[in-house]
Amino acid sequence: MTLIFATNNNNKVQEIRNALDNSFEIISLKEAGIFQDIPEPHDTLEANATEKSRTIFNLRQMDCFSEDTGLEVEALNGEPGVKSARYADNEPEFADNIDKLLNKMKNQGNRNARFRTVISLIINGDEHQFEGICEGTITHHRAGTGGFGYDPVFIPDGATQTFGEMTMEKKKQYSHRAKALAKLTEWLKENRSA
Ligand code: ITT
Ligand code: NA
């Protein structure tokens, strides 16, 4: 089946394609010729995921999905969470999002954190949500150049490397995104078998 993936993040497109089998054709926004910004005005991952998939469905009336992901750090009361992409915006004292995170976590003993992905799928105009969670810890320093976003400072439980030190194949064994996607494909197999 064919689905538009409502994201402007190419790393997400790569990871999702890598995790799906050949029965799915994923069309990125760029490939669909959609270049507009998609609003994410809400204060939950769920509401922003819905906003993104609805925006694209309203534009094209095609089956589509989106995902919103946040890094939720226990000692920071769930921050950066829904603000993960914009965490250090307008704060020139920080080089980037990771710099701000490591600064806030300086002298912090509790390093527990989790990535949470919420997928919003729209099939025939109806929305369905799927959640994937990956528990782990925040490191004291960056390690690795793989992945994207906060990957160099996050070690998933059960691993000894950061996501940034892993190949895409390895990250997939642990990742929030892969877990949410597995739920989506299971749902599609049960509900959309031709
Ligand atoms: P969309 O177009 O899909 O919205 P985005 O990059 O803006 O792409 P989000 O709104 O979901 O994505 O923001 C989440 C941010 O969290 C993202 O920019 C990354 O910095 C980070 N992030 C998301 N998934 C991640 C992952 O698997 N590993 C590390 N960081 C991740
Ligand atoms: Na975004």
Instruction: Judge whether 162 is annotated as a binding position.
Output: no
**Best probe residue, ligand 1, of 69, 145, 173 (max atoms within 8 Å of C-beta):** 69
Return the ligand number nearest the Cα of 9. 1
pLDDT reported for residue 13: 97
Closest CA to 138 of 105, 179, 91, 175: 105
| Known catalytic residue at 89 | no
pLDDT reported for residue 193: 58
Q: What is the pLDDT of residues 27-48, one digit of tens each?
A: 999 999 999 889 899 999 999 9
Instruction: Judge whether 11 is annotated as a binding position.
Output: yes
Query: Ligand 1: residues within 6 Å at CB?
Result: 7-9, 12, 40, 68-69, 84-85, 115, 147-151, 163, 177
Q: What is the pLDDT of residues 107-161, one digit of tens each?
A: 999 999 999 999 999 999 999 999 999 999 999 999 999 999 999 999 999 999 9
Query: From the CA of 133, how far away is ligand 2's center (Å)?
Result: 18
Instruction: For strands 25-28 and 80-81, give the pairing.
Output: unpaired
Q: Which of 21, 63, 68, 126 is flagged as catalytic?
A: 68
**Best probe residue, ligand 1, of 9, 64, 118 (max atoms within 8 Å of C-beta):** 9
Q: Is the pLDDT of residue 194 over 80?
A: no
Q: Tell me, what amino acid is at 178?
A: A
Of the pLDDT bands very low, low, confident and very high (cuts 50, 70, 90), residue 192 is: confident
Residue ranges covered by each domain of the chain = 2-191
CATH architecture of 2-191: Alpha-Beta Complex (3.90)
Instruction: Judge whether 106 is annotated as a binding position.
Output: no
Give the whole-angstrom CA distance, residue 54 versus residue 21.
25
User: DSSP labels for 95-151?
Assistant: SSHHHHHHHHTTT-S--EEEEEEEEEEEETTEEEEEEEEEEEEE-SS---S-SSTTG
Query: From the CA of 150, how far away is ligand 1's center (Å)?
Result: 9
The pTM of the full predicted model, rounded to 2 decimals, is 0.97
